[in-house]
Structure 1
Amino acid sequence: MSTKEQLTLTKRIRGLYQELFDLTDPESGEPIQYIFNVVPDKKHYPDYYTFIKAPTSFNSIKKRLNHYQSPNEFIKDLVQIVWNARTYNEKESFVCRYAQVLDDFIKNRVMPKFASAGYDVGYPDLSPIEEGSAGVLLPYNYGKERQSTPSPTPVMHQQTMRLITTTPRSVSRASVRSTPMHDEEYEEEEEVVKKRYTHKEQSFKRGRPPVIDKPYEQRIKNVLRNLRREKGVEGDSLTLLFERLPDPRDYPDYYKSITQPISLDEIKKKIKQRKYKEVEPFVQDMKLMIANAKYYNDESSTVYKNTLLLEKWFVKFLEAEMKKPDSDFISHDSLKLPLEQLELRGKLYKIGDWILINNPNDAQKPIVAQLFRIWQTQDGQRWINVCWYLRPEQTVHRVDRLFYDNEVFKSGQYRDHLADEILGKCYVAYFTRYQRGDPAIPYEGPLFICEYRYNDNDKNFNKIRTWRACLPDEIRDHEDPITPLPSLRRFKKIESPLKHLLPPNATPHMPIPEPIIGAPNAPPLHGAVYLRDVDPTDDLGQYASSRNCPKYIIRPNDPPMDENDASLNTPLGNYTRNVVSHPQPPAPVYHATPSLTTVSTASTFTVPIALETATSGVLKMDVMSNKRRLGGLDVHSEGPVIWFKTPGVLIPNRTVVNVCGDFGQADEDGQVNETIPGSGLAGVVRPGNSAAYLAWKKQKLEG
């Protein structure tokens, strides 16, 4: 293959690769990239690598984009993802449904695209394939569109545009603009799991929260949906070039010319987070995106021509949607009017709030949940959709599993409840953040800790890697502040509350039991336990039998610790409020409560005037530009942070020889008097060196 042919092939593959990130599940509307962007974590899914011998992901394909020697190599990697998903997951699972979307894309988009360009492509049969085999190619039926035998050498399409694509290096939306959520959403299947041990069959509904849009939101989505169906001047998707912003490394001049960059990615994010309160702001963002593209690109370029085409279709689709009456967007047999908040018994509840819901199975243990949707029906009833967080005794787990006090687990259950079932508020703290500090907001009700998600289909617990992926779209950009602790918090773990339920004849090979189901719209009446051998892979302290355990976890049989150890967490009593000090006037809240109080961790230490003068030339760190380096410090505190190499030394009336002579007035011998009489802080300005170093320095200068 010549260099020109290789460049042509790579360009075609890159274009199709970018389209992968536009594929969505037709049922939920969710992008499939979040599942296939990375392979499963080997630590949490060891059995995956027992069955799957060739793990493949969008990310691994990205690394090979410049190395594919034929379209069939690219197609085989895509088909491998489909094959892996279907092999490991149940047929009815949402992962298999996503795999079908990808498979349709391969057969209806990728293969016809290469075939029309003259490449000989086929669909690989991977069913009997061993690791490393190239696969058997099944001939692709080109159909009536392929009237003649094309030249085996593809034609290079010359383009004269300044901005060829929006992401020249094929940097995916998942790897740059968003956090991969493969681990976080694995359990969200929309299947029905039948529960045993009950007098009648009952089922657990699964899936994402219902989509409840106002008429203007439906208009906006219809416009974008119609635009995505249109083709550009070269037959590709019209919206492809507008999906993401250009890579600043490849187009630095773009960001010098364009002061308000925006792409469809940002616009769609605003739609998901319900930032648009009417159609007009959406229209203005679309016009801004179009204006940016027209301003930056040459009029003869493909991008410019596609921009004009996009503008024409946008105006047409917008006019059509705006002419429709609101009644066209309302289903009268199931009218749901979305609400942004609701008031109940004197309290205000908003999307993202942590709440307690009446549990018909056990009134003493309300359902812990997070509020995802609020709406009102024609009869005036107010409804909510929530994600359940299960307690240890509501799960099925190994008998040796250990738990924190007040620990809960994110489930895949998104349930509808009447608003009147709400009992009050609570707060669920993400373990990783709670380990570093206390919530700096005045939350109500009990505090719970969440570190794992629970799949009630296969009874597995998986560590949550990205907390934001668990939250409603509307609040994913917001993070509750914390008051940092001086050191990481340590946690005591307790034994399973269901330990007594283990059958006396239990063996490590016993089948995993089912929970006992009570009321239909409530967590299980109680879970169950089973016996297993020691898990050699556990290094998170999940089990009493594990050989390895993190230092921050204290298991029941561990040696007693110093009770005065400040790093030990204070036991969280059931339904006792964690009182937050430093009350402040109410401010807008992101979730948890209607008001937000930010407790600043800025130091109250006042630098002496003399020292302030002496350090006027010291390089200071700008807080807002160094958020990641500041770690747990409050980056919103005013003023820069001065970094000292060592603590101050209390040496009254000390004179230090300053070779550089940066501070103070030097005498005729080149010495600088840095003495601050009576303060004893001279050593803070510039820490003194050891006698050995000063002797060496003196010898070097004199030599």
Structure 2
Amino acid sequence: MEQVEREQSQPQAEEPVTSIEGDGAINEDQWKAMMDVTMAIYDFREQDGHDPSRLFHRSVNKRLVPDYYDIIKDPMALSILKQRINKREYKQFAEFVRDCALIPHNAQTYNRPKSQAYEDALVIKDVFRDQLKKLVEDGVISAEEAEFPDLGEIPEADPLPDDEDEDEDEEEDDEDDSDDEGRRRKKPGPKPGPKRGSQNKEPDLRKRRGRPPRVDTPMETRIKTILKGIRKFKGPGGHLKIVHFERLPDKAAYPDYYMETKEPIAIDLIKRKAKRKKYNSVDHFMRDLDLMYDNAKAYNQSESQIYRDATDLQIESRKLAEQEKKKPDSEYLMEDGRFPLPNGILHRGELWKVGDWVHIQNPNDVTKPIVAQIYRTWQDSENEQWINACWYYRPEQTIHHVEKHFYPNEVVKTGQYRDHRIDEIVDRCFVMFFTRYSRGRPRDLAPDKEIYVCEARYNEEKHKLNKIKTWASCLPDEVREKDYEMDLFDVPRKIKKIPSPIKHLLKDDSKETDDLPRPTWGADNAPPVVGAVHRRPRDENESPPPEPTPSPPPPTLPPSTMASATPRQPMSQPIPTGSMGTPSNPVAPPLHVPMPTPPVAQTSAVPVPQPTFQPPMNPQMYQGSNQRRTSSFVPQTPTNAYQASPVPQHPYATAQPTPYAAPYPNNRLHAAAPVYNPNAPRAVEVFSLGEAANAAIPADIRQQFHCDERGHVLFFSVPPLDIILPAQPKLAHSLKYLARKEERQKQLAERKRKRAEEETQRADEQKRQRADEETDLAARVEALTPRAVGCMMKQVVAGTEELYKMLYNEQADGARAADLEVRESRIFADRVADQHRGEIQTQSTNEGYVNLKGSAVYLGDL
């Protein structure tokens, strides 16, 4: 969201433009209509105040999203629209309409369905059409000119890969935001588990954890509470006041904002600093929050809505901060009694803090302690001190290809974040990124401490080693931006990789078609005792990459052949046909990667040609493309090409491979030509078991799943739709689980009720205390007032006597008496005059006459 008022600051829209004469295609009303349509997209807001256009203001940054321009060949953004309108580059109004259509089309091409960018693109598309429809009704353009051109079909989405970069998670602190914000957040779906019949019997304690636990200090909890609190304030029209301050304004649209504002800041930057633990107090955090509000008030006019919202939010933010600062730290303990120790733990005379590399006791092998990095430090309710550490496996603890080579003393980062008591730490060590390992040694590390080198990240579910691109993403937030000094070698050392230390474990009869071996596990809270090696083919993104060769589009099977295919296919030869033999969806994607097939004895099937597919030259580029398209990062401006948009299919539907048709990116006016898309997902494939294997499944279990006409359970290469036949009861939670869930909900409700009562009692007690303090203060003031007046009078008399002595010396008494007579006569004359006017003053002493201890003083002169 932008911290500026568009109605008051539209620098690009208000620039004087010289008309280009002579084209004759577009008149002045149409040029104005183009800009009105563009600005209407900027100004559109949904009912909850959400701005669906914010991602499309500018073009995508190629440095941040390098694969975007590999997929999108004709980028488009709102800023490009304004630039082309201002420069009068359009020759026909239809060219402008095509650019408008490109924005949502590119967003749907690059982003996955149900992502924020995909949903916003659909909204923007409807707004564009509504605006063009109004122009048709007003007679500005014709109905033909307002039609969106055909930019080609949206390809289906690639299957989601494993989330191997668990450290790049953002926005994990927004779970408790307002309902309006939570409506847009992507709901977590069920995670894929092991397939039926797999041999994955590893205990839950060995599964990947994903990220360290939350152990926030009271100060960090206060900051998060304030950020959540300011999201709940709404304006008169029901809009959220905070939406203006979510992100900084577009530099292209508002360059003057950055010239006038010396320190631009927005909510997303503040949240990032809080996540990186950059704030050392609530007041430090409030300085940034006040700076954000002051920037908005300094740039916008005082009668604008943003100015009013900034003023209101600033007041409310300060109230929230004062409330949070008054609460004791004991109120911010975690539910399980954990108390964070952000300054580290003092153990055995050493301070162990976040970011330290340590050796931890390995119950499986005392000679090979666990290499880990500390992520959290805390103390539990029993005063025991704990750390949470990220494990790094040694090569012999992983499963890898038999030809894989490693650096000496290499370790690989895992997704295991485990809790350990502080006394499980053995000693210190250090892990260096492979780019620095050969250049020197950490300066402050003792000579007897072990140093390891890390180059890859280990996925324990797929047993893959992926090269780390950014070492900072592997470190805790507290030390991510810190560096360490090194004692450099005279000459960088040449380090040669060595073969796998467990290469000898490969069996003599192993083949490329064998299943992945399993590691040998020991104690629960420890890495594997030993990993394993295999001969399976390398993946497309593993080095060395295969040579790129052009792959022709796969041939389309005739419908007659598909219809004659056997309904039940053997698992040894998967064929993309449905169980009923129905014709396939004509827009199904081609098969470009053969599926691994476990050998099962079965009858023969109709052969289907399998096209070969070779990845691009740069394996990292191909891998990055997949990661980007499935990650939570949303680009700010989508563009032309294809975006994955999986269309749900009936589980019994047949998949017929047909090539995609991709548009020519540089031709604006011609239709798309068919081009093979190597990134397209595979068609839906259906499998079934043989007679013996199917009979081994209990009948009551088979009835709960999709079956063919022969009663054989069907297996799909993609999750089928949740279609429940009338005779098949839907799977549901057990009564025991539902009872426990209801009991937990009751406990949470009771806990909230008690907390609310305690807060009410605390507030009443504070009110009573303030009332007692005010009453006591009033009584003290009333008692001290006479004494204060008496002291003042004494000082006035003494000061008057000293003044006469300084002025008249020995004649002081005579002068004072003479002045007294003059003042008395003046008072008498005034009194007589008042009597004549009928305005007698009853309090003559208050007018200015007092007589204390024989001395007369006229207060008016003093």
The two structures have a TM-score, normalised by structure 2, of 0.45
Q: Aligned residue for 1:3?
A: 34
Q: Aligned residue for 1:29?
A: none
Q: Aligned residue for 1:16?
A: 52
Q: Aligned residue for 2:139?
A: none
| Contact 2:336/2:381 (<8 A) preserved | no
Match of 1:521 among 511, 521, 525: 525
Change (3 A) 1:386 1:202: closer
State the shift of 1:237 in Å: 5.3
Matched residue count: 448
Q: Aligned residue for 2:153?
A: 133
Q: Aligned residue for 1:492?
A: 496
| Contact 2:412/2:455 (<8 A) preserved | yes
State the shift of 1:77 in Å: 4.4
State the shift of 1:475 in Å: 1.1
| Contact 1:192/1:206 (<8 A) preserved | no
State the shift of 1:509 in Å: 2.0
Q: Aligned residue for 2:290?
A: 287
Distance 2:528 2:372 in 1: 15
SS in 2 for 1:415: strand
Q: Aligned residue for 1:242?
A: 245
Distance 1:411 1:37 in 2: 25
Superposed CA deviations along residues 413-463 of structure 1, whole A, max 9, x for unmatched, are 111111111111101001112244443443561000011111111111111
State the shift of 1:205 in Å: 3.6
Taking the TM superposition and a 5 Å limit, the aligned residue runs for 1:639-678 are none
Change (3 A) 1:403 1:184: same
State the shift of 1:411 in Å: 0.8
Change (3 A) 1:131 1:228: same
Change (3 A) 1:3 1:335: same
Q: Aligned residue for 2:445?
A: 442
Q: Aligned residue for 2:178?
A: none
SS in 1 for 2:405: coil
Gaps of 5+ in 1: 22-32, 43-53, 85-99, 122-129, 137-181, 543-703
| Contact 1:227/1:310 (<8 A) preserved | yes
Q: Aligned residue for 2:402?
A: 399
One-letter amino acid of the structure 1 residue matched with residue 517 of structure 2: P
Distance 1:261 1:197 in 2: 52
Match of 1:459 among 463, 469, 477: 463
| Contact 1:407/1:450 (<8 A) preserved | yes
| Contact 1:233/1:305 (<8 A) preserved | no
One-letter amino acid of the structure 1 residue matched with residue 130 of structure 2: Y
Taking the TM superposition and a 5 Å limit, the aligned residue runs for 1:183-582 are 184-185=165-166, 203-230=206-233, 238-245=241-248, 254=257, 257-322=260-325, 324=327, 326-443=329-446, 445-484=449-488, 489-533=493-537
Distance 1:112 1:541 in 2: 41
Distance 1:468 1:299 in 2: 43
SS in 2 for 1:286: helix
Change (3 A) 1:352 1:202: closer
Please say which of residues 366-375 and 110-119 is displaced more in the overlay. 110-119
Distance 1:346 1:527 in 2: 36
Change (3 A) 1:233 1:16: farther
Distance 1:252 1:367 in 2: 53
Pair 1:38 & 2:65 matched: yes
The structure with the largest alpha-carbon Rg is 2
Superposed CA deviations along residues 289-311 of structure 1, whole A, max 9, x for unmatched, are 22232223332445423322432
State the shift of 1:507 in Å: 1.1
State the shift of 1:235 in Å: 7.0
Change (3 A) 1:106 1:329: farther
Distance 2:252 2:232 in 1: 31
Superposed CA deviations along residues 213-234 of structure 1, whole A, max 9, x for unmatched, are 1233212112112323445688
Q: Aligned residue for 2:615?
A: none
State the shift of 1:197 in Å: 7.6
Distance 2:358 2:411 in 1: 13
Superposed CA deviations along residues 141-187 of structure 1, whole A, max 9, x for unmatched, are xxxxxxxxxxxxxxxxxxxxxxxxxxxxxxxxxxxxxxxxx974489
| Contact 2:37/2:131 (<8 A) preserved | no
Distance 1:422 1:433 in 2: 26
One-letter amino acid of the structure 2 residue matched with residue 353 of structure 1: D
Please say which of residues 3-12 and 455-464 is displaced more in the overlay. 3-12
Task: Give the helix-richer structure, 1 or 2.
Answer: 2
Q: Which has the higher contact order (CA 8 A, sep 6+)?
A: 2
Distance 1:68 1:485 in 2: 62
State the shift of 1:16 in Å: 2.8
Superposed CA deviations along residues 548-576 of structure 1, whole A, max 9, x for unmatched, are xxxxxxxxxxxxxxxxxxxxxxxxxxxxx
Change (3 A) 1:65 1:423: farther
| Contact 2:104/2:124 (<8 A) preserved | no
| Contact 2:112/2:118 (<8 A) preserved | no
State the shift of 1:312 in Å: 3.7
State the shift of 1:314 in Å: 2.0
State the shift of 1:397 in Å: 0.2
Distance 1:439 1:241 in 2: 46
SS in 2 for 1:504: coil
One-letter amino acid of the structure 2 residue matched with residue 506 of structure 1: S
Distance 1:436 1:18 in 2: 45
| Contact 1:370/1:388 (<8 A) preserved | yes
State the shift of 1:510 in Å: 1.7
The two structures have a TM-score, normalised by structure 1, of 0.54
Distance 2:446 2:487 in 1: 14
Superposed CA deviations along residues 583-612 of structure 1, whole A, max 9, x for unmatched, are xxxxxxxxxxxxxxxxxxxxxxxxxxxxxx
| Contact 1:352/1:370 (<8 A) preserved | yes
User: What is the root-mean-square deviation of aligned Cα atoms in Å?
Assistant: 4.5
Distance 1:70 1:285 in 2: 39
| Contact 2:379/2:385 (<8 A) preserved | yes
State the shift of 1:482 in Å: 3.5
Change (3 A) 1:69 1:223: farther
Distance 1:13 1:460 in 2: 46
One-letter amino acid of the structure 2 residue matched with residue 385 of structure 1: N
Change (3 A) 1:266 1:83: closer
State the shift of 1:467 in Å: 0.8
Distance 2:168 2:266 in 1: 31
Distance 1:260 1:6 in 2: 32
Distance 1:18 1:7 in 2: 13
Distance 1:63 1:413 in 2: 43
One-letter amino acid of the structure 2 residue matched with residue 119 of structure 1: D
Change (3 A) 1:512 1:375: same
Distance 2:204 2:257 in 1: 61
One-letter amino acid of the structure 2 residue matched with residue 493 of structure 1: K
| Contact 2:215/2:334 (<8 A) preserved | no
